[in-house]
Amino acid sequence: MYSFHGSYFRFLNLLVNGDYTGIMKKNAGNRIPKFTKLESEGIKGSLDFIGINHYATKYVKDNPINLEMEIRDFLTDTAVTLGPIYLNLLSLYIFFKFEVAPLDLQKLLNYLKEEYGNPPIYIHENGQVESRNGTMADTPRV
């Protein structure tokens, strides 16, 4: 089963708390830098805000087998398999569009609030891509 996963935001732990999460250290091993106490204190709390561009939700499924791969990257270190992006198939002929899913953005915002102590968040972009000079009569997005 696919579900929301905060893996892509675990790097925020460094900026909020001064160090990477234990799971990031474990999964990335020696590829992740280690900080002295002084460096950690200098990094801790150093973000001014979190900026979000949200267009679609990508669901994930636990996949610890990724951690057994010899050659790894960020995606394999998260130990998940990415699920499909659900598309609005009726509008593909106009432009590549994602499913409108406002509850997914709400889940993300709640996760960031609970996990990182309610930091200032600016939603820079949210919605659908529209064709250039397209109409703003966009009832499906509203």
Res 137: pLDDT:
64
> Which amino acid is present at 114?
E
Q: Hey, CA dihedral for 69, 65, 13, 48, is it positive or negative?
A: positive
Whole-model pTM?
Answer: 0.69
Res 37: pLDDT:
96
pLDDT digits (tens, 9 = 90+) for 38-60: 999 999 999 999 998 887 777 77
Q: Which two tokens stand for residue 47?
A: 């973000």
Burial class (CB in 10 A: 0-12, 13-18, 19+), 47: middle
| Cβ-proximal residues to 53 (8 Å cutoff; 6+ apart), any chain | 124, 125, 126
Res 64: pLDDT:
81
pLDDT digits (tens, 9 = 90+) for 73-129: 777 777 777 776 555 454 444 455 666 677 888 888 998 999 899 999 999 877 666
Q: Which two tokens stand for residue 127?
A: 């919605």
